Amino acid sequence: MNTLFFRCKVLLMCLVFNQTLLANNQNLRLIVRMDDCYVSADSKTVRIIRLFEKHKTPINVGIIPFKNPADTLNPIYRSRYAEIFVHGYKHEKEGNDEFTGLSYLKQRDKTQRGKHLLESKGIYPCCFAPPWNGYDDNTLKALEKSDFLIISANEFGPKNNSKIKYVPSTCYSVKKAIEVLEKESLFNGIIVLLIHPYEFNSDADFELLEKLLIFINKNNIQTRYFSNLNSLDENITAKRLEYHHYPLFYLLRKYDILGFNHTVYYEMGSLITVNIIEWFLLLIISLFGHLKYINKLKLYVSITTGIILLLVVIIFYSYKSDSYRWVLLYKTSVIALFIWLNHRLINRKKLKAAQAT
């Protein structure tokens, strides 16, 4: 048992060491999402977009279609470095937020009218960001009907529509984004930085934003539009978002363990590490439980127990659910089956040795 624990520890250390050697700030990409902009655009919005123009860096600009709408679109939005997305309807609450709880037909009308307004001005948005990050299943259905491809809210909304892509905001401070990028990353992922024009109240605020832009250009950090992510072979499906909800992964990100960070939306490939760690933890827990409790139950060595465990594994594998509860039960069942098989083999060897004597 001690040998097994030691081997598990060594394998984990080798994994972490290997990832440390690969640490690089180029493992991270950046999406800047600016919410709460008007069709006419205020002076702060213009100044922010000018900064991105100066440093030739993409910015995603969320326009509220019917909040102080103007007859003509501000020319600043024609910048080659600004991509427009739809940010709600009027940015006015109907309950907890602007969309949650409303009927499908009402939400479809709002999303379609907002998109059509921008299309009438020659802009064709692919992304929708709901005000206050509030949306429900009806919102997702309405977005699909309105031909939106991506939703950008936070990490905790519903994700039950397989035709919509999900790119949640993860970082809410320019200063924090700089800190995370400077630290470098063990794993690949995207920082989705959410800013608002009204947050920039002094020259110091704009200088900090420019510091970020200088840093990402100096270090060749890739920046993206939402449409880039959709056109590239990028896994931004509901499954990726689901993984970020899993308790172990959420814990690692929250407390910056093993190089994970809560401000990063990690790629699927990076989740292999979490998968391996989880297998090890479940193996250790299962072995501990087996030696302390299950080993005393003679039923555990019976053929019937093995058949039941095998059937459970097959059922869980066939079910193919992304729910963490089922994933955890499947892993535990696989480990229990192997422990049972190992137990049977050991007992058979003991029996043969006894018969030989």
For the chain, what percent of residues have pLDDT higher than 70? Answer: 89
- Tens digit of each residue's pLDDT (9 = 90 or more) over 140-153: 999 999 999 999 99
Q: How many structural domains are present in the chain?
A: 1
CA 18 to each of CA 21, 25, 181, 244, 322: distance values in angstroms, whole numbers, following the listed order: 5, 16, 20, 23, 29
Residue 6 lies in a domain: no
Residue 322 in any domain: the answer is no
Residue-wise pLDDT tens digits, 279-313: 888 888 888 877 777 767 666 678 888 888 889 88
Q: Reduced to 3 DSSP states, what percent helix, strand and coil does the chain have, rounded to the nearest 5?
A: 55, 10, 35
Cα separation, 314 vs 305, whole angstroms: 14
For 79, counting Cβ atoms within 10 Å of its Cβ (0-12 exposed, 13-18 middle, 19+ buried), the class is middle
Residue 241's identity, in one-letter code, is L
Note whether residue 178 is domain-resident. Answer: yes
Q: What residue numbers bound the domain in which 231 lies?
A: 29-236
When pLDDT is cut at 50, 70 and 90, the band that residue 327 belongs to is confident
**Angle 247-254/271-292 helices, nearest 10 degrees?**
120
Under the banding of pLDDT at 50, 70 and 90, the label for residue 37 is very high
Amino acid at 9: K
Residue 197 CA to residue 175 CA, distance in Å, equals 16
Q: pLDDT, tens digit, for every residue of 164-190? A: 999 999 999 999 999 999 987 888 999
Evaluate whether residue 311 is within a structural domain. no
Q: In this structure, is residue 100 part of a structural domain?
A: yes
Question: What CATH number did the domain enclosing 116 receive?
Answer: 3.20.20.370
Which pLDDT score is estimated for 20?
42
* Structure confidence at residue 320 (pLDDT): 67
Placement of tokens 């939005």 in the chain = 77
Smallest CA-to-CA distance from 60 within 212, 225, 233 is with 225
Report yes or no on 213 lying in a domain.
yes
Distance (Å, whole) CA 323 – CA 328: 9
What are the tens digits of pLDDT across the range 2-19? 455 555 555 555 555 444
Q: Is residue 159 part of a domain?
A: yes
Place of tokens 């089956």: 337
Section 242-264 average pLDDT: 86
What average pLDDT does the segment 31-59 reach? Answer: 97
pTM (predicted TM-score): 0.82
Lowest mean pLDDT among 40-44, 210-214, 346-350: 346-350
